[in-house]
Structure 1
């Protein structure tokens, strides 16, 4: 799975938090308002478009070309992305059982209960 740089993560956070597709201008304004990156206030729309192009190539973003300006949306949910990252890390571990044991040993009682429910299929 492709990794995300700081600006890419900030753009994805905006898209994941949005209920509707966004234009590059809306994302630039959202980045500036959130202060997500140090340079966000001076961020050009062309920079945001470059980041969106990279995210589209990595499979994180889809672009609706029927409208002008183009609309962008996340191609997967934040939860799916995080699950894929966890699976990738687990798959690279030489001792999966040790990694799982360490992970489970650090969860809260509430998280442990959630894991039990999920594993039970409920």
Structure 2
């Protein structure tokens, strides 16, 4: 999986934080609070994110599409971690190095996640 580009990530961040469908206009207005960006630029990137499967485009508000994320921020992060592990020829050693860098509360969360994953049926 390819990492999101800078504007893609900025757009997705808004959808993930808002946790609701939104129009390109809403995204543009929010980004413009901190820096200028053209409506057409955000519209183009939203269409690209839709084509890539990151945003769905189901309803309309007037003539404008309502977009919402297909995957969560956490699913995106997990896919990035999977890709990073895939770059290693020795995944177990890479995992050890990763875990050694974690804080104790993160290690505890990892243990809980492993226990929960072990209880789920295989797909």
TM-score (norm 1): 0.87
Q: Over aligned residue pairs, what C-alpha RMSD do you find?
A: 1.5
Whole-Å Cα distance in 2 between the matches of residues 117 and 24 of structure 1? 38
> What's the offset of the Cα at 1:65?
4.5
Whole-Å Cα distance in 1 between the matches of residues 27 and 60 of structure 2? 19
Residue in 1 that maps onto 2:107 = 112
Matched, 1:46 2:24: no
> Within 5 A, what are the aligned runs for 1:73-112?
73-112=68-107
Structure 2: stretches of 5+ with no match in the other structure? none
Matched, 1:20 2:20: yes
Between Structure 1 and Structure 2, the one with more strand by share is 2
Residue in 1 that maps onto 2:55 = 61
Structure 1: stretches of 5+ with no match in the other structure? none
Whole-Å Cα distance in 2 between the matches of residues 94 and 20 of structure 1? 40
- Count of matched residue positions in the alignment of Structure 1 and Structure 2: 116
4+ residue segments displaced more than 6 Å: none
